[in-house]
Amino acid sequence: MKNPKVDEAYLKRLGLIDEAGMTNELGTEVTAELLPRFPPRKHGRAFPEIKRAAGCAVACELAIDNYAGAVLLAYRIDPNGFDPYTGWHFPGRQHVGDNAFCETVQECAREEVGTEVRILQPQHKNPFIPFMGTIDHTGKEYPVQFHQTSLIFHCHLDGTITKPVIVDKEPRDGDLRWFRACPKGMIRAQWQYWDVLKHEGIV
């Protein structure tokens, strides 16, 4: 929860930000000194801001299919009201820290679907490459949150979905739905993921 005493005026009184509200030389030095002092996995409110400022190179995206040509998507409403980040998307999350890719995939599955998944071996059958496709977002005309590259993992459910699965009603944040093709309202940055799924024969 944000401390109400820590606002722009407070930071200006400390001499940490300039008139435009951005960190000045002193503010940057203080930030650099504080970052190594954050306890592991206890960044709290600061963590999303750190990711936003620094960027994240890779995101893991889950293509969970139902053995019958449909893929499970999640609906997201951007908390900041930014329209390009609101819509249907493949469950996914930023790959940060020292986690293995499979750990990031399972964390995402538990959070967005409510169960773990089995990661399937891609058609290229290289045991050292567990993802079936990569998407490079660098220089594209659509906005992407934090990362430059998406790794797409083909998965099957390894348990029962515990999140809401809808069929034809208006989606709410966190709702899931099975789709056989790219739906209307898909987040723009993920349209091309469907090309990877078609190439792999999933849809």
**What total number of domains does the chain contain?**
2
- The CATH code of the domain that includes 66 is 3.90.79.10
Domain enclosing residue 100, as ranges? 58-199
pLDDT digits (tens, 9 = 90+) for 151-200: 999 999 999 999 999 998 999 999 999 999 999 999 998 999 999 999 88
Q: Is 156 part of a structural domain of the chain? A: yes
The 10s digit of each residue's pLDDT in 2-45 is 677 788 888 889 898 888 888 888 988 888 787 777 665 555 55
Structure tokens at 161: 């979905």
Q: Is 192 a member of any domain?
A: yes
**Are residues 82 and 156 located together in one domain of the fold?**
yes
Same-domain status, 156 and 188: yes
**Which of the residue ranges 10-19, 98-107, 113-122, 127-136 would you say has the lowest mean pLDDT?**
127-136
**Angle ∠(127,130,132) on CA atoms, nearest 5:** 120
Alpha carbon distances (Å) from 96 to 66, 103, 135, 146: 28, 11, 18, 11
Q: Is residue 2 included in any domain, yes or no?
A: no
Whether this prediction's pTM lies above 0.95 is answered by no
Strands (E), 102-168: 117-119, 133-136, 149-157
Same structural domain for residues 134 and 173?
yes
